[in-house]
């Protein structure tokens, strides 16, 4: 299930990478979303919430790709850069997973709600 498109990612980042590379990054972001949702017993539904999360994880993936191909350099003790790429990746991932936790909370029915609904149904029947 794809939550965002290469066009969405290009519009947000201005990336000039090929659509093949961008789609691979998006696919990995969506796999991470699906795995996280599945491990929490929730199924994702295409919509703005998951689209935003997918774009955030894809931006992190795009930065990681830049590190892998040498377009960007990670900051370390011997190198000083005005942009902390690894820090930016971590911040993007943290933001995405916080949003995923909120999505899960909003889309999970608590046990109390299940009990309450069953009591209401039994009174109506």
70 vs 47: which has the higher pLDDT: 47
Res. 79: pLDDT tops 80: no
Per-residue model confidence (pLDDT) at position 3: 96
C-alpha–C-alpha distance, residues 6 and 32, integer Å: 17
Per-residue model confidence (pLDDT) at position 80: 53
Per-residue model confidence (pLDDT) at position 90: 97
Tell me the mean pLDDT in the region 108-120.
Answer: 51
Where does the pLDDT of residue 119 fall: very low under 50, low under 70, confident under 90, or very high at 90 and above? very low
How many distinct helices (H) and strands (E) make up the chain? 5, 0
Tell me the mean pLDDT in the region 82-96.
Answer: 91
pLDDT digits (tens, 9 = 90+) for 54-70: 999 999 999 999 988 88
C-alpha–C-alpha distance, residues 17 and 21, integer Å: 6
Res. 43: pLDDT tops 50: yes
pTM above 0.85, yes or no: no
């Amino acid at each position: 299930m794809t939550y965002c498109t290469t066009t969405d990612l290009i519009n947000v980042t201005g990336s000039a990478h090929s659509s093949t590379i961008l789609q691979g990054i998006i696919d990995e972001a969506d796999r991470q979303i699906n795995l996280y949702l599945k491990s929490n017993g929730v199924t994702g539904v295409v919509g703005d919430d998951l689209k935003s999360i997918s774009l955030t994880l894809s931006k992190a993936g795009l930065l990681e790709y830049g590190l892998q191909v040498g377009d960007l350099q990670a900051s370390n003790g011997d190198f000083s850069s005005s942009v902390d790429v690894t820090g930016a990746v971590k911040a993007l991932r943290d933001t995405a997973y916080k949003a995923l936790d909120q999505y899960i909370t909003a889309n999970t029915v608590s046990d109390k709600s299940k009990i309450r609904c069953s009591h209401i149904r039994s009174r109506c029947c």
